[in-house]
Chain A
Amino acid sequence: MILILTTKDDIVSDLVVLRLGSLGEGVLRLNTEDPFDISIELDDNGQRWSVVQGLRCASSSDTTGVWYRRPGPKSLRSTPEIQDFVDDQWTCALKGLSTIGSAIWINDPFLTVAAENKILQLRTALQCGFRVSNTVITNEASRVGSFYAASGRQAVVKSLSSPWLQSSERFVFTSPLTENTLPGDEEAALAPFIAQKLLSPKTDIRVTVVGDTVLAAKIEADTLDWRLSEHTETWSACCLPAAVEKSCLRLCRALGLVFGAIDLIYSEDQYYFIEINPNGEWAWIEHQTSLDISGAIAQALRGSNSS
């Protein structure tokens, strides 16, 4: 049995559900919106767990893999305070399941949280043999100014933590640092951020690691941040040098991740680590390149493709 923790509208999960079905594997896709539709129980002082939704059940004794995909908030008509409280209780319960039994988790939710820290990512990437573009993380405007000058006025800035502002639906993309956009003292002091030497010209590479499988794709985007491109370019599968592949695997293992979506930049004959997304998206790459990412995830959940 495979347990997938997500929501009804997570269409990416469908790809893996279908692959698991074709392998004859039982699946409980636990859609987390409706608490009245889910039964969860931890028995024997937390030694065993079981979850039920509809006619399907998964338990710590029969589940070989759990995909902590995107369990979402409960759909409640309540105050934000009650909503947050309910969501916190459920998050605690679902994450707690990862501490019981022998199932493979993609990924261990506690390790995912740790691995999302960009400072830890940079340090670990260096230890795993990656090159990293010259970087400074600071809230000092003067330091950014000196970094900018030392970088030959070729630098970018990006957020240190989540770049997404939920209520205003805004996103902080990697942006160029220029004379006109250098920070003032106070606005810089409010929150630290990343400044990095610009890599240009470049090719963006997304490496999806699933267990021992390394699947790489590249795009020649005409924008600084490929996510801002007009989507006229397409991704294509590519091969990485063995040493870079090895670094990708080492990085995921060092962070305790079965799955990792790693962003690299290829510039001036070198590969540079940008970041790793422990729960990154991948379906569009599979669609454009035919890289079998859903198949790799399905196999890893069955225990046949994990490190």
Chain B
Amino acid sequence: MQPYILNFAVKRKSHTQAALATTFDAESQVTVLIDQPHRPIVAEPSYAGVRTKKQDIEKGDDMKDTGPKPKPKPKPSPRTGLRGIKID
């Protein structure tokens, strides 16, 4: 048995930009994309990581019997996470 309110808990992907290749630049004190060190990253909504069923399937999360998946390469783009917020 679990607390009643946990009946309403749903899966939520943690909201990090871990899929991006970043590094911290001590000179500017900001986090930058590795291949575009001049360009800081813009944050996305903290809740943007909430995945829909459709997104899960697209990401292959529901296809557990298909063997190991290739490790995704970091995206060297000025976009962030699922929301794809772009700065220019």
Contacts and interface: CB of A to CB of B under 8 A. Distances in A.
Interface of A: 8-15, 17-18, 21, 27-29, 31, 54-55, 141, 157-160, 163-165, 168-173, 175, 181, 183-184, 186-188, 190-191, 193, 227-228, 230-231, 281, 283-284, 287
Q: Closest 10 A-B residue pairs measured CB to CB? A: A283-B43, A284-B45, A191-B3, A281-B46, A175-B8, A227-B47, A170-B9, A171-B12, A14-B30, A8-B24
Given A11-B31, A27-B29, A283-B42, A157 B83 contact: no
B13 A54 contact: no
Contacts of A159: 5
A174 B78 CA distance: 33
Instruction: Determine which residue in B4, B26, B42 has the highest number of CB atoms from chain A within 10 A of its CB, and name it.
Output: B4
Interface in B25-51: 26, 28-31, 40-48, 50
B85 A14 contact: no
A9 B2 contact: no
B71 interface: no
A13 B17 CA distance: 14
Given A15-B43, A168-B9, A171-B11, 4 more contacts: A15-B40, A181-B8, A230-B52, A284-B45
Contacts of B8: 157, 172-173, 175, 181
Contact of A173 (B10, B18, B28, B41): B10
Contacts of B80: 11
Nearest to A183: B4
A187 B22 contact: no
Contacts of B9: 163, 165, 168, 170-172
A193 B31 contact: no
B4 A227 contact: no
Contact of B4 (A12, A170, A193): A193
B3 A14 contact: no
B33 to A, nearest CB: 10
Contacts of B31: 8-11, 13-14
B85 to A, nearest CB: 6
Given A9-B16, A17-B28, A231-B83, A157 B5 contact: yes
Given A187-B1, A190-B1, A29 B29 contact: yes
A159 B9 CA distance: 10
26 contacts: A8-B24, A9-B31, A11-B22, A11-B40, A11-B43, A12-B43, A13-B31, A14-B43, A17-B28, A18-B30, A157-B4, A157-B8, A171-B50, A172-B6, A181-B7, A186-B1, A187-B4, A191-B4, A193-B4, A231-B45, A231-B48, A281-B46, A283-B44, A284-B48, A284-B83, A287-B85
